Amino acid sequence: MRLGIDVGATAIKSGLVDDRYNVTGKRSRPTDARDAAAFLSDLADIGRSYRGSAKITSVGIGLPGQVDPHKGTLVDSTNLALADVPVADTLSRELGVPAFVGNDANCAMFGEVYAGEGVTTPNLIMVTVGTGIGGGIRINGKIYRGRNESAGEFGHMCVNFSGVTCRCGATGCWEAYASVTALIRQTRDAAGQYPQSLLARLIEEGGGAVDGRTAFIAAKAGCPVAEQVVETYAGYLAVGIDNLLIIFRPDKVVLAGAVMNEGDFLVSRIKEKIRFPDQLCISKLHSHAGIIGAAVLGEVYRDHKQFV
């Protein structure tokens, strides 16, 4: 069994992946990225926790940020505020098996390539919507990784050159508008502006908590303010997706991330606003894409045919 670990800014998900890409023993724990030592010790803990249940042959870790697959390090991560972390070496030493690292969104795409939409589509663009927005590019059946293995950072393409400042320091990045972090900000802003709205009341009843579902719940309950938040958010997502469709003309743009659980309520609105709506779909692997993709990293890196 291969172990796949999918590190997000909020949670670390893991699971065992068999030869047919079934995921078992799925676990999730909050991400603790206070410092590299705490982070590595959590990853080692997760790895060790699977030892009793199966014979692990390799481990792969998907990381949010720039990775060096050759050195096995997390080079830099704005969202985790970590740099130069020797992830693969640590896990390999702890578990006594080969360990590999990849960018988290690239891993989601590898999951699609091996077990999802990519099995039948040679030209595929992956977009993961979470704390940030990540991406992956597959052209003619090969994975495009670019200079320093860092292609596909779709979250940091500019959609508004005089817009808000992104966590990366640049102006108007797509993820500053269309990530779940941005959706939460937009939801709070709208509730603050319309304190009498159902949206604002719902937030108040929940003790002030807002997450990626809040605006959708209120919109579905008929709140026009929340409806506008969802509509505008779909517009932000559509801008970036439309750019990707025009640049790559892929067979499919595959969307992943928990917010995609909203399904057609969100995606139909995006489709109305893009030029090639038939090419857009939601990952059927859901959160398993990142785990499967991390688990198959060893194969991906061995199989050079995969690369442009």
Interface with ligand BMX (CB under 6 A): 8-9, 64-65, 77-79, 103-105, 128, 130-134, 153, 155, 175
Instruction: Identify which of residues 97 and 158 has a Cβ nearer to Zn ion in the complex.
Output: 158
- CA nearest 241: which of 172, 123, 154, 120? 154
Instruction: Identify which of residues 92 and 103 has a Cβ nearer to ligand BMX in the complex.
Output: 103
Compute the least distance from the CB of residue 265 to ligand BMX, in Å.
21
The DSSP call for residue 9 is S
Cα separation of 105 and 173, whole Å?
17
Instruction: Identify which of residues 54 and 168 has a Cβ nearer to Zn ion in the complex.
Output: 168
Compute the least distance from the CB of residue 153 to ligand BMX, in Å.
6
Let me know: does 64 contact 17? Beta carbons within 8 Å. Answer: no
User: 60 contacts which partner out of Zn ion, ligand BMX, none, CB within 5 to 8 A by kind?
Assistant: none
Residue list 155-184, contact with Zn ion (CB under 5 A): 156, 166, 168, 170, 173
Q: Which residues contact 209 (CB under 8 A, 6 or more apart)?
A: 203
Using CB under 5 A as the binding rule, whether residue 44 contacts Zn ion is answered as no
- CA nearest 35: which of 69, 74, 62, 71? 74
Binding span for Zn ion by CB under 5 A among 152-160, 193-201, 241-249, 283-291:
152-160
Identify the burial level of 277 via C-beta atoms within 10 angstroms of its C-beta, where 0-12 means exposed, 13-18 middle and 19 or more buried: middle
User: 166 contacts which partner out of ligand BMX, Zn ion, none, CB within 5 to 8 A by kind?
Assistant: Zn ion
Instruction: Identify which of residues 226 and 293 has a Cβ nearer to ligand BMX in the complex.
Output: 293
Identify the burial level of 273 via C-beta atoms within 10 angstroms of its C-beta, where 0-12 means exposed, 13-18 middle and 19 or more buried: middle
Identify the burial level of 163 via C-beta atoms within 10 angstroms of its C-beta, where 0-12 means exposed, 13-18 middle and 19 or more buried: middle
Residue list 79-138, contact with Zn ion (CB under 5 A): none
Instruction: Identify which of residues 8 and 118 has a Cβ nearer to ligand BMX in the complex.
Output: 8
Q: What backbone torsions phi and psi does residue 100 show, to the nearest 5 degrees?
A: -135, 150
Q: Which pairing describes strands 66-68 and 73-77: parallel, antiparallel, or unpaired?
A: antiparallel
The DSSP call for residue 162 is T
Cα separation of 46 and 50, whole Å?
7
User: 145 contacts which partner out of ligand BMX, Zn ion, none, CB within 5 to 8 A by kind?
Assistant: none
User: 104 contacts which partner out of Zn ion, ligand BMX, none, CB within 5 to 8 A by kind?
Assistant: ligand BMX
User: 78 contacts which partner out of ligand BMX, Zn ion, none, CB within 5 to 8 A by kind?
Assistant: ligand BMX
CA torsion sign for 77, 79, 80, 81 is positive
User: 173 contacts which partner out of ligand BMX, Zn ion, none, CB within 5 to 8 A by kind?
Assistant: Zn ion
Q: How many Cβ atoms from other residues are within 10 Å of residue 38's Cβ?
A: 11
Instruction: Identify which of residues 168 and 239 has a Cβ nearer to Zn ion in the complex.
Output: 168
User: 287 contacts which partner out of Zn ion, ligand BMX, none, CB within 5 to 8 A by kind?
Assistant: none
User: 191 contacts which partner out of ligand BMX, Zn ion, none, CB within 5 to 8 A by kind?
Assistant: none
Instruction: Identify which of residues 4 and 134 has a Cβ nearer to Zn ion in the complex.
Output: 134
Instruction: Identify which of residues 187 and 197 has a Cβ nearer to ligand BMX in the complex.
Output: 187
Q: At what angle do helices 224-248 and 198-205 cross, to 10 degrees?
A: 100
Using CB under 5 A as the binding rule, whether residue 269 contacts Zn ion is answered as no
Applying CB under 5 A, the residues found at the interface with Zn ion are: 156, 166, 168, 170, 173
